[in-house]
Structure formats: structure tokens, C-alpha cells
Structure 1
Amino acid sequence: MTNYMRTNAWNDGGTFNNADLLWYAKGVGKMMGRSLNDPASWWFFAAIHGELVNPDTAEYQAAPAFIRWGSINNPPSVPTTPLPVQATQDKFWNQCQHGSWYFLPWHRGYLLALEAQLRADIVSLGGPNTWALPYWDYFGGSQPAEALMPPAFGATTLLDGTPNPLYVAMRYGPDNNGNIYIPTEAWEGTHNQDLNWQQFGDVTDTCLQNDIYTGSDTATPLPGFGGPESGFSHGGSAHGNIEQNPHDLVHVYVGGYINSTDFGLMADPDTAALDPIFYLHHCNIDRMWAVWNGAGNTNPTDLNWLNGPTPQFVMPMPNNEPWVYTPGDVQNLSSLDYTYQDVTAPLKPAVSLLAHRLFALGAISAADVVKSLPSKVTQRKPAELFGANAGPVQVSNTGGTPIEVTLHPDVQKRVVGSFQQASISTPPDQLYLKLENVRGTQDATVLRVYIDLPVHADRDTLRAHYAGSVGLFGLRSASVKNGAHGGAGLTFVLDISRFVDKLHVKNKLSSGRIKVNLVRSNELPQSTDIEVGRVSIYRQPY
């Protein structure tokens, strides 16, 4: 029998009338009352995800002064001493898994450990011994109300007038004005008259249509729902589909910034877990993984995933006994004593992505047949470089100058041949845009990607050429030359197959170039640079 139910934070209007939120605030308050070096403190748990408090680390030394924990505006009042002994830091701190197929299981264990500590504190305060973390389902509600941050997080006081531990000063939202909401597709549908319309509709749950955890098929673009094969990765390669969208985008949009020295805590991995909304966001990501599994999709069976990496995952627990766990230990909710209020999977499109492509490429009869066929393809050929631009580019605020990706003639022939022969038995190549070695100093922004965008495009034209968005969550850290990434930056992958299909049908591939526009979601502060090392396109044949 499951003992713990994680419920929707928007129950009872998302206010402190929701007892789960009220007890969450009280538990957070008790954890915040402990010292930085106490494994049961809020600050220690935040540092497990990432920290900028130890001045002896390369990360701290390279970070601008304004982003270090000692510069964070109150509330919360973040301590910077006493530090745990180095052995404790090495064991527990800076452990979050990103750009890795361990992203989902590591964060599930992280939530379980924090939830256990909060529950122990809540019980000590007279609260229920069945309390569990709520989740923020920003895709839910009518209009859709739940895209807004639950009001309890914006209140400065609790019901009794005491300070609200869930309130954070450095939290600015998509418009950088303190209005916190997630620009989902449903939100855009009811707020499309807003002057900032270009920011809307970026955040989706499309990843739930994937059917492979790692890899690709006709329903799942690279690198897969859960991420690419990896070792222990505190950052790393391209993010999995659920990590890239919605995870990264929600972090960046909730955080936001005001100016070059005032950013939202959620926008940077080394400050994000200081914000109590972090855990409700990750609770929803964990719920989405459960939804995906509940729809019949399976996790990796590879022992390298099941047994986890070296070093092993470890979390502090209320009994002062470290909990060492593997992905295999946490992959099924049924063995973890908790469930979610709602694990209903959203309806899949009536027509598959492959059917859309076959229809667009002229294989109409094949498109009709493929609608009823399974999407899974067990063996894929390696991806091949199709083309690349000439070198590093600076991303402007306007994105007015297109980046020209020059195509390799021999590879172009193979791509065109796959389009001409497209059928059920020989699906057309999938095409991926890759933004490589993205570097910069400001995590709190989003890059929007357009393919073959005409000059002076109106709103409808922009939408027609919009390929997707990437949130630069972790950009600053990944750009530190002496850091964990060696300054390599971030890498993003977007499936642009449907756009290359259109270029082929319009005979535009014959030019040997594909135009790409990268646009910042909003104006960034002066002296803030974003550089993309290379813009490339890959083909993946079947």
C-alpha cells in the first residue's frame, strides 16, 4: 500500500488554504534555521545540487561576485559559513546530473531525500506523518490558471503573519517584472494579445510523445526522452528531451533577471535549489517521468544505467545514515511508497510525426497507412554531418542576420534521395540542428531558433519558421575554463526534419545552404555575451 500522495500545488487555489503548501512552508522554515554545515539544513541540500559558497573552488573564483551566495538578496538570508569539512563536501555537494541519462533518477533520489527531511521536521512541528511534496503542473488548469506560480510562493507572510519561507526576492519571471508564469502553448492561446507574445508557447510536454528513453525513432528525436548515455555528469552533453523542454525552460523563465547583476535564483544551477519553487518544478518533472512510464514506455535495461555511475549517488537522510542508491533502485514508483494525484497521460496526436512527413514529401498513400503502425525502430544508423557554418557567432538581441549553414554536396544527395524514396519501409532521414559550444555569462535567457526565416517576417511567418527554443540553464557554469566542463559550454539539439522537408519540396536545398536565425527571448544587459561555437546540421538515416 502506498503511504504518500504527492498532490497538485494548485489544490485549494494554490494558497495556504492548501495544507500541503502550508506545511511545506513550515518545514522549509525549520530547515532554514539550521547551519550551512548541517546535512539537515536547507542550505546543505541546495549545495547538493550546486553551490557558489566555497571560495576555494574554481567555480567560485570564476563566478562574478554578484552570483555568489554571499551576494544573494534577502529573503532568504543565505549563510556562507561554516562550511562542512572537505570530505563531506566532496561526498555530497555539486552532484546534480545534467546532460545525462542519469538526470531523471538522480533528481528522483534528491527529491526523496529532501522530502524525508521535510516530513521529519513537519511531524516534529505537529504536522501529518503522511505529508508529501506537492507538484506544480504548469500545463494544468483552465485558461490555463496553473501556468501561474501558486500564490503561496508570492505571499510575503504566512496566515499567522510570520515571514513566509517560500517567498524569494530574486525571482523575476519571463518578463523580468516579478510576474511568475510559464509560457506554455495553452497559456499563449489565452494571452496572445500580450506585447511579449514572442515569448509564449515555448514550454511544452511534447516529450511525453517519445517512446524511447535513449536514442531515436520516428516518434523520438535524439538524444531520447531521458538523455544520452553518459557517465557521472554534473553538466555535460546534449540534454534529453524532457530535460531540454520543459525542464530547462521552466528554470530560466521562473528565474529571469533585472539587470546584469540581479538575476533569478532559479536560472542558475548553482543557486536554483535555494528557491523553494525548485522542488515543486522537479516534482512535476518526476511526475512526467511516471506518466511516461505509465503509458507503457520503458527505462533502460543497460546495467550501466541500472547500476549507476562512479561515484555513486548518495544523499543525507534524517537518521544521519547516508543513502546510496542506483537508478535501478528508484525507477519504479511502486517500490518507492509514493504516487501522484494525477498521472494521466495527455492524448497523443491522431496522426504520427512520420505520417505528417510522408504526406509533406508526397507519399500520401504511405502516410495514410503509417497512422496505425508502431513508431519504434530498433536499429538506427549513426548521425552524419550534413553541414555547418563558418565559425563562432555572437547571438544578437534581434537575430536579424541569418547564420548560413553550408551543406556538404555528397551528403545532400543522400538526404534528397531519402526524401524521394520515402515510404513506410524506408522512412526519410531525420535532420537535427546542433548548437555546439554555446558559451556566455548569463543563464537567464532563452534562444529561439528559426529556419529559413524571411526578412521583416510578421507574426504568422515567424510562427511558421519557428523550430523551437532552448533555455540556457547552466551556461555560466559550463563556460568556466577551469570548471567541470573545461569551458566547453552547452550543446543543444533540435529536430528540424519538417523544415528541411519543406525546403526540399520548394527546391530550396539546391542552393546548398540553410539559413538559421537565433534570437534572444528578450534584451540582455550590456556586456552580456552569448557565443555559439558552431551551428551544424546532421542527418540520421534509418
Structure 2
Amino acid sequence: MTRREFARSASVAFALPALFPGQACAQNKFWVRKELNSLTVAEWDAFDKVVGCMIDTDKTWKPVAEIHNESCPHGNWFFLPWHRAYIHAFEQHARTICKDFTLPYWDWTARPDFPKRFLEMGNLKRATRVDANLKRPARADVVGQNALDLAFSTQLFTVFGGRPNPKDPKDLRYDRGAGVLEIGPHGGIHLYVGQNLGKQGRPGDMFTDLAPLDPIFWVHHANVDRLWAEWCYERGRPPKSKTWPDIQKGDWATKRLEFTINKKDYNYHVSDCLSTFDMGYTYESFGSNKKDSVVTFPEKVTTEPKQLTEVVKDGLVTTKSATTVEVTKYTADEIKMWAIKVSNNKEDTKTPGEIHAWVDFSSVPLSGGILKVFVNNPKADQRSGEKDSSYAGSIVFFPRKHGHTINRHHTTCVALTKALRATDYFKKPEVGISLTFVADSIAEGEESVARIERLSIEMLPVA
């Protein structure tokens, strides 16, 4: 079964098994989150009522957004579990207002136009900060099917969901290890909504750490959460086939995530947040039948990635010029031999494993923007796009002047395997690797540049 077939088939019911049996969150009912387009009039009214009551009655709308402002992790391996717990706590509080409320999700890949209901309904419209004249859809090269396929091409959680602070793995505020889902499709929607002028001529809330003030945040992150759940069962394979953080050390799984809404505490560990079924909900695209079987995950990751680092000279990307960074230390043939050595399998000449890049920026554009990344295509320019076989994805920057935890220094991941295979890289042993970064949607000006200081190529054989 392909990932597209999996996502579209509501009749196939996969239960995401618990990583840590016995630590499930107790629930009185099993909930199914629905796509916005599937909501009934009553369900839209319930959403609108929740927003209105949190703004006017219990006065929790801004305090809940402040939680995100003060403690949200971006750019590290807590990004996905923290936001799963956060929107789950929001949903639990919302049910104190409407007992049958279930948070919907916005499938912006299938429906990239901004949802009109958020500009039409009373409380939703009141809280939404976006230009009412927004007519264009979200960019397909950032949130479309190909962008998701690139993100889903990895089996490594630290590439898909982010890596830790090497000095303090429990650091929630580390922001130099963003995974491909966060820095690409997730960031693309924040940019799409937030860059459009909101009311009173200010940027939209989605550009800032107070993004939850805009109700579109909640349905956006519900979709990000759905994509993480889908990644776990991508192509029908169970999560045990993925490469997860080393849970034996406990730095990731035992991290405590705490939220207080209207004087009520909602507490989780990361280990509680690795199965939507354990938390009492699923998504309509997966089906709603819960299976009893439990799959245990590996307790230890025994194979460490091999890494080669290039210090980049003159790695300046501007609106007027692209930058190509050539990795000169090894060729495709050397990578094949390297894969065989690491995997200890002399017969494994056709499966070189995964290759991805960690890109260190010493400076990012002041006003935010997008860099398109191409593999072994130094001629790529602003006319090149997602249909080019060398396209490896996009890096989305939030504006530094509006927050969202992006500072001048930033590190992010780009998954290269799919593009390398599409360009027949492994059939050309004499060819090395080069990455071309093309500025897109970046305003011109002295600080509208991205400066690359280091490029690290990692390779890891995958089971």
C-alpha cells in the first residue's frame, strides 16, 4: 500500500500501538478528528462557540497562547510530541465548554486554499488575523504531495521530527536541529498565513510565538500531528521499522510536558504522546477501529550515522544569486563502500541507506522566506521548482523580527535520498554531491540574506 492510498482510505483502520504499554491517558470516549471539509454545521458551530467562550467567558484564549509563547519547542526532537500534547490539552479544555467537541484538522495538501469559514463565522472571524482578500492557495512546492513525499522518504525520527541538543538532550528551547516536517510543510503554512497582512496592517499571529491566537493554528497543527501518525505507518509498515531515539537513556521518552489551563493541570510524558490511540483519538483518514495488539519498539539504536562535514566559504544566498555548496570529500562509489562497511553487509550494494544534510546557518533573513534546495544541479535558479528531479525540498524561515524562536543562527535538515535516486546518483560513481540553495519569497535588503557556515552530510543504512 502506498502512502497516498493509506492517507485516502477511510476504510483501512490502523491502530498506532503504544510505545510504552500501561502509560496510556485514560479516556471516557474514543474520538475521531475530522477534516474541515467533513464538519457538519453543528460541529462548525461548536468550534465557533469554543473560541468565543475562551475569549469572552473563561478568558483562556490568550493564556493558552502564552503557553506556546513561553515554552514551545521548535528546532529539536520535542517539536512533535510537545505540540501533540499541547493541542490535546486544548481539546480537553474545549470539552468543558462543548462536551462533544473534537478538534478538526486542515488537510492543506488536498485543500491548499485558506478555509473560508474562518473568515465568515463570528468568533472564528473575530480571532483570525489574515487578509480577507487572500485568494491564492498555499504553495504546492512547500505543502503539496511531492513535499510530503520528500519528508516521508526518511525512516529516521531525528530527520523527520528533529534532533536533540547534543549537550543537553532534554533542552526544549534548543533550535538547531529542525526536522524536515517542521522546516518544510509546517513552516510553509505559518508563512502562507502569517505573511499576509492582518487587521490594522500588522503581520498575522501565525508569524509569531503567539500563533495560537489565530484559530487556524489549531487545525494546522492537528494536520501536522496527523502526518506524524501517518509517518509511523507509512506504506503499512509498523513503527518498529523506524529508527527512533535511544529510549534506553530516557532523555526523550521520559521528558515531562506540563500545561495548565484555567487552573487545571494537563501533564504528559513524551512516552504518553507517541500513540494517538493511547491518547484516545484517531483521524478519520485512518479509520476509527482500535486494535488490541501492541508492538514494542527497539530499546536501543545500535547503528550511529556516519557524518562528514564541510566548512562552507562564501555560502551567501541572496535574492539575486543562488549558492552551490560542493561536498568534495567523497564520491558516490565511496558512499556505497561506506554503506557496506557500516551495515556490515558485503552484498548490500544496491541499498546505500539514507543520505541527508544538516545545514548550519550563521544568519537567516530578517523578514523570513524560503530557500529551495537542489541536489547536483548547479544551474538551478528561481525558475526551477518541485517538478525538477533534483529538487530536495524547501527550508522555510520565520521572520526574526516577529519571533517564533528563529534567531540569526539556525540548523535544519534536508533529506537527500529521494532526489539522489531520482537523478541516478548511485549509477554515477565518479560524481560527488553538491547542494544548490535558491532564495525564494525573500524581500530584498541588507539583512535579507541567508548565510551558510557549515554543511554536514550524514548516511545511515536503514532496515
Normalising by the smaller structure, the TM-score range is 0.7 to 0.9
C-alpha distance after superposition, 1:448-472 (max 9, x if no partner)? 1123232779658972332210111
Measure the CA separation in 2 of the matches of 1:408 and 1:7: 49
Residue of structure 1 in register with 2:138 after alignment: 182
Matched, 1:4 2:12: no
1:265 counterpart = 2:205? yes
Residues 253, 271 of structure 2: 8 Å contact kept: yes
Maintained 8 Å contact 1:172/1:255: no
Partner of 1:297: 239
Give the C-alpha shift of residue 525 in structure 1.
5.2
**Which residue does 1:532 correspond to in 2?**
451
For the residue of structure 2 that corresponds to 1:454, the secondary structure is coil
CA RMSD of aligned residues (A): 3.9
Distance (Å, rounded) in 2 between the aligned partners of 1:462 and 1:3: 41
Residue 529 of structure 1 aligns with an amino acid whose one-letter code is S
Answer whether contact 1:397 1:523 (CA < 8 A) is retained: yes
CA deviation digits over 1:11-33, x for unaligned, max 9?
Answer: 25xxxx53222221221122122
Letter in 2 for 1:324: N
1:123-134 → structure 2 map (5 Å cutoff):
129-134=99-104
CA contact (8 A) 2:130 2:204 kept: yes
Matched residue, 1:397: 319
Report deviation, 1:489: 1.7
Which residue is equivalent to 1:407? Answer: 328
What's the CA shift string for 1:262-311, capped at 9, x where partnerless?
Answer: 4332133x132211100001111222233334542156544322211xxx
Task: Tell whether the 8 Å contact from 2:382 to 2:439 is kept in structure 1 after alignment.
Answer: no
3-state SS of paired residue (1:463)? coil
1:119-268 matches, cutoff 5 A: 119-122=95-98, 129-140=99-110, 146-155=111-120, 158=121, 163-167=122-126, 170-171=129-130, 178-179=134-135, 181-184=137-140, 203-204=147-148, 206-208=150-152, 210-213=154-157, 223-229=158-164, 230-257=169-196, 262-268=202-208
Q: State how far apart, in whole Å, the 2-side matches of 1:520 and 1:457 are.
A: 7
Q: Which stretch of structure 1 is more off in the superposition, 459-468 or 230-239?
A: 459-468
Give, in whole Å, the separation in 2 of the partners of 1:469 and 1:379: 31
Matched, 1:100 2:76: yes
Provide the C-alpha distance between the structure 2 equivalents of 1:383 and 1:212, rounded to a whole number of angstroms: 14
Separation in 2, partners of 1:264, 1:100: 24
Q: Distance in 1 between matches of 2:228 and 2:184?
A: 13
Letter in 2 for 1:472: F
Matched, 1:337 2:280: yes
* CA offset digits 1:498-520 (Å, max 9, x no partner): 4497567567747xxx6543222
Residues 436 and 461 of structure 1, relative CA distance in 2, 3 Å threshold: closer
Name the SS for the 1:322 alignment partner. Answer: strand
- Partner residue in 1 for 2:267: 324
Q: Which amino acid aligns with 1:454?
A: K
Give the Å deviation of 1:10: 1.0
For the 8 Å contact 2:378–2:435, the answer to whether it is kept is yes
Q: Provide Cα deviations, 1:355-411, integer angstroms capped at 9, x if missing partner.
A: xxxxxxxxxxxxxxxxxxxxxx96434433253421452x22243x433435236x8
For 1:43, the equivalent position in structure 2 comes to 62
TM-score by length of 1: 0.63
Q: Name the SS for the 2:326 alignment partner.
A: strand
Q: How many Å apart are 1:526 and its aligned residue?
A: 4.0
Counterpart residue type for residue 455 of structure 2: S
Deviation, 1:341, is 1.9
Instruction: Indicate the residue corresponding to 1:489 in structure 2.
Output: 409
Query: Structure 1 stretches of 5 or more lacking a match?
Result: 51-93, 123-128, 141-145, 186-197, 214-222, 346-376
**Aligned: 1:31 with 2:58:** no
Q: In the TM superposition, what is the alpha-carbon distance from 1:344 to its structure 2 partner?
A: 6.2
Give, in angstroms, the shift of residue 44 of structure 1. 0.8
- Mapped to 2, the partners of 1:21 and 1:180 lie a distance apart of 24
Contact map agreement 2:365 2:399 (CA 8 A) in 1: no
> Secondary structure of the residue that 1:10 maps to in structure 2?
helix
Displacement, 1:102?
1.8
Q: Which residue of 2 aligns with 1:219?
A: none
Structure 1 residue 441: Cα displacement: 5.1
When structure 1 is superposed on structure 2, of 494-503 and 279-288 the one drifting more is 494-503
Task: State the SS of the aligned residue for 1:380.
Answer: coil
How many angstroms apart in 2 are the aligned matches of 1:211 and 1:406?
24
Greater RCO structure (CA 8 Å; 6+ sep) = 2
Q: Which has the larger radius of gyration?
A: 1
**Cα offset for 1:496?**
2.8
Letter of the 1:149 counterpart = F
Task: Give the aligned length.
Answer: 402
Query: Could you give the per-residue CA deviations for residues 120-150 of structure 1, whole angstroms, max 9, x where no partner exists?
Result: 223xxxxxx211111111233xxxxx22222
Corresponding residue number in structure 2 for 1:434: 358
Identity among equivalent positions (%) equals 21
Rounded Cα–Cα distance in structure 1 between residues aligned with 2:205 and 2:147: 19
Q: CA separation of 1:413/1:233 partners in 2, compared to 1, >3 Å: closer, same or farther?
A: same
Helix, strand or coil for the counterpart of 1:179?
coil
TM-score by structure 2 length?
0.73
State the partner residue of 1:307.
254
Deviation at 1:104, TM superposition (A): 1.8
Query: Measured at CA, do residues 466 and 252 of structure 1 come closer, stay the same or move farther in structure 2, by a change above 3 Å?
Result: same
